[in-house]
Structure 1
Amino acid sequence: MNRPIQPAQHLQSQVPVELQAPDIRPYRRVSAAAGTPAIDYLVRLESGKPGPHVLIQALTHGNELCGAIALDFLLQEDVRPLQGVLSLVFANVEAYHRWDPENPHGNRFCDEDYNRLWGDDVLKGPRDSIELRRARELVNYIDSADYLLDLHSMSAPCEALMVCGVREHGGLKAVAMTQGIGLPRWLMMDTGHSAGLRMIERGRFGDPRAKAVAALLEAGQHWERKSEAVARDASLRFLAYTGLIDRDWALSRCSLAPEQQRVIQVTEAVIAKTKSFQWLADYQGLEVIEHAGTAIAQDGDACLRTPYDDCVLVMPTRARFTVGNTMLRFGRIES
């Protein structure tokens, strides 16, 4: 006889803060090249030679420290492009400046999620917020990039993951780029986000016919030390892949070996329908559940079960239990 399902307690990340938030104030106004837009915390480095515009963004969310550490590392190493233009962007600095290691969940954003605002209907609409003002300030510059790497981290301890976007809207070219970079191990194409357009899906990035390509790195748990190494190494390998920096110079500063990569196709996102959503076990993310029909969560009276064999649990949310929030994505391993 089957035992009754007992819901696990809501899981808030209790990971200690192992990272030190860097002082980014010296980077408020760095670019001095002629024609450089006067935008705070945008560092533009020009080679003076033809080539692509390559952009790395950190601090899409204010409490995701590893990206800021990676950009600070590149600047401390005096990185310079061999061709084209390199742009390093510290995005949601208003949220970042509210960082408090005693309340590390408290400054993800100020008013709203900065990575749900990138549709023209929102950017050109009537709403106002701290995040929208910053997005409107940066959007034209973001649109000029040929390659974009957006550095993030996750609330729960989990292996690193490259979010490549929607298959038919730029996902396949982002997968190809990430395979050229060589890490992380897991690459994901998904179904987009119900709450709004992400930066990596915007304009040319989301057009499969355009050459511009973007991907979003989830480097691991927000404050675990390994997320710093993942963000740094991915950034270095990304710049080497695009030809902006010398490959040997980049690899000499990496500490992680390239991975045997696997591609996940998300088949559906699971949205919380009630305030009583509960996980039935302590899922960290990227677990492969062998059998279809395995119970994994309770949402009110409904039991959430895996839809097929060898189902990957992608980015289960452990910190934000609200109606309408994406709690989980189901994925199939393609390769």
Structure 2
Amino acid sequence: MSCAAKRKRGGKSSYRFRTLPEVLPPPPPPLPHAPPQDPLPDITPWVQGNCGIRGVHHFESHRPGPHIAITALMHGNEYAGAGALAHLLATPLTPTRGRLSLIFLNPDAYAAFDPRHPSRFRYIEEDMNRLWAPKLIHSTHTSQEMQRVRELVPVIDTVDVLLDLHTMTWPSAPLLLTSMAERNLRMANTLACQQADPPQVVLDQGHPTGPRLIDYERFSTPSGTARACLLEAGQHWTRSATQHSLSMARAFLAQHGMGPPLPTTPHQGGINAVVTDCVEAHTAGFAFLRRYTGGDIIESAQTLIAVDGMDEIRTPYDNCMLVIPNLRPRRGHTAVRLARLL
């Protein structure tokens, strides 16, 4: 086998090999489709917010302390986090110090969501979670999501600790994603240890198509102090994703004195891994050899996991974790991230 076309941002990759694949993969599976296991959350009572910014709710203690925030609905079809926020807002919230903010990020995308097509309606015009770059925010670029980011930046610029709630299209174990700053890993590990079934904790260097909210410079610069992590709570429409979202939100609030304390039953943290490679589909024929699930660990290096036209995609090292595999990636989109266990 000859090795060629080793491409990766900033250098060569160790997972892509040019050859004529000897193994033909099965056809890609259809997009997952299932009715929501619970009624969709009604955010109508909360969508106007309470501070003059749509979808933003502030609660003040009038005592010194950090600004804590939980965000949801970055993507309109990821409504488990919205259910968690609606549940929290339905009960009195009285932080003992600092400020608490609960934020519905893209309520317009959620308003367009159709449960008959649960994998659609991530956004109206463009992915809001690729727009958190200061140069882009201050540029002339515009879209509905870009305008919404600009509305929210004055709030985000004051947040000290942030939890961003998401779900996934394909079946996957829950995980906490953080940027590479050590303080964010510590935050995620603390949250994971407070869960009865600790999620995996995965560090990565950002998304190749644009910075996410957790990559915003306030949370990701090495010299900063503000912290953020992102929860991927499971598959979009499942009851377990809603339960994971609410459980993590409650643990986050309790950790910062913003909610009732939880029973002290600490658990050992989940798997820690660092993303080393972001595998992009170069052709429309990208296909995995089998239906992998997020969190799967491939024991042996050089295991063939997918083909992409004339390229073979192989694991670059032993015990390689597959992070959020997309079993039907479009050309130019991320198919899977490869992570090394720490």
Whether TM exceeds 0.5 here: the answer is yes
Distance 1:222 1:258 in 2: 26
**Larger CA deviation: 51-60 vs 183-192:** 183-192
AA in 1 matched with 2:307: Q
Aligned 1:213-292 pairs, distance under 5 A? 213-248=227-262, 251=263, 258=267, 260-292=269-301
AA in 1 matched with 2:304: A
Q: Contact (CA 8 Å) 2:33, 2:117: kept in 1 or not?
A: no
The yes-or-no answer on 1:204 pairing with 2:218 is yes
Distance 1:315 1:121 in 2: 28
| Change over 3 Å in CA distance of 1:259–1:100 after alignment to 2 | farther
1:167-191 deviation line (CA, Å, top 9, x unaligned): 2xx2x21110122222442000012
| 1:89 aligns with one of 93, 98, 103 | 103
What is the aligned-residue RMSD (CA, Å)? 1.8
Q: What is the match of residue 10 of structure 2? A: none
| 1:325 aligns with one of 333, 336, 341 | 333
1:198-228 deviation line (CA, Å, top 9, x unaligned): 1111122012222210001000111111001
1:250-278 deviation line (CA, Å, top 9, x unaligned): x59xxx98554221111111111111111
Aligned 1:81-160 pairs, distance under 5 A? 81-160=95-174
Q: Contact (CA 8 Å) 1:19, 1:65: kept in 2 or not?
A: no
Secondary structure class of the residue paired with 2:89: helix
AA in 1 matched with 2:330: T
| Change over 3 Å in CA distance of 1:59–1:216 after alignment to 2 | same
The yes-or-no answer on 1:80 pairing with 2:80 is no
1:122, CA displacement in angstroms? 1.4
AA in 2 matched with 1:10: P
1:4, CA displacement in angstroms? 4.2
Q: Contact (CA 8 Å) 1:82, 1:246: kept in 2 or not?
A: no
Q: Contact (CA 8 Å) 1:13, 1:318: kept in 2 or not?
A: no
Distance 2:73 2:267 in 1: 25
1:233-265 deviation line (CA, Å, top 9, x unaligned): 1111111112222314xx59xxx9855422111
Secondary structure class of the residue paired with 2:275: strand
1:15, CA displacement in angstroms? 4.2
The yes-or-no answer on 1:178 pairing with 2:188 is yes
1:79, CA displacement in angstroms? 2.6
Q: Contact (CA 8 Å) 1:191, 1:268: kept in 2 or not?
A: no
Distance 1:57 1:220 in 2: 17
Distance 2:314 2:106 in 1: 37
Distance 1:51 1:158 in 2: 36
The yes-or-no answer on 1:26 pairing with 2:22 is no
Normalized against structure 2, the TM-score is what?
A: 0.88
1:108-151 deviation line (CA, Å, top 9, x unaligned): 11111010000012111122111111111101111110000000
Distance 2:39 2:105 in 1: 18
Secondary structure class of the residue paired with 1:29: coil
1:28, CA displacement in angstroms? 2.6
Normalized against structure 1, the TM-score is what?
A: 0.90
Q: What is the match of residue 304 of structure 2? A: 295
Distance 1:311 1:13 in 2: 25
Q: Contact (CA 8 Å) 1:162, 1:178: kept in 2 or not?
A: yes
1:31-81 deviation line (CA, Å, top 9, x unaligned): 2xxxx4x11110111111111100000000000011000001111122321
Unaligned runs of 5+ in 1: none
AA in 2 matched with 1:179: N
Q: Contact (CA 8 Å) 1:63, 1:108: kept in 2 or not?
A: yes
Q: Contact (CA 8 Å) 2:287, 2:327: kept in 1 or not?
A: no
AA in 2 matched with 1:24: I
Distance 2:266 2:111 in 1: 33
Q: Contact (CA 8 Å) 2:47, 2:107: kept in 1 or not?
A: no
1:261-304 deviation line (CA, Å, top 9, x unaligned): 22111111111111111111001111111111111111001111
Distance 2:269 2:297 in 1: 17
Distance 1:28 1:313 in 2: 36
Distance 1:87 1:77 in 2: 14
Q: Contact (CA 8 Å) 2:73, 2:165: kept in 1 or not?
A: yes
**Larger CA deviation: 110-119 vs 16-25:** 16-25
Q: What is the match of residue 189 of structure 1? A: 203
Unaligned runs of 5+ in 2: 1-20
Q: Percent identity?
A: 38
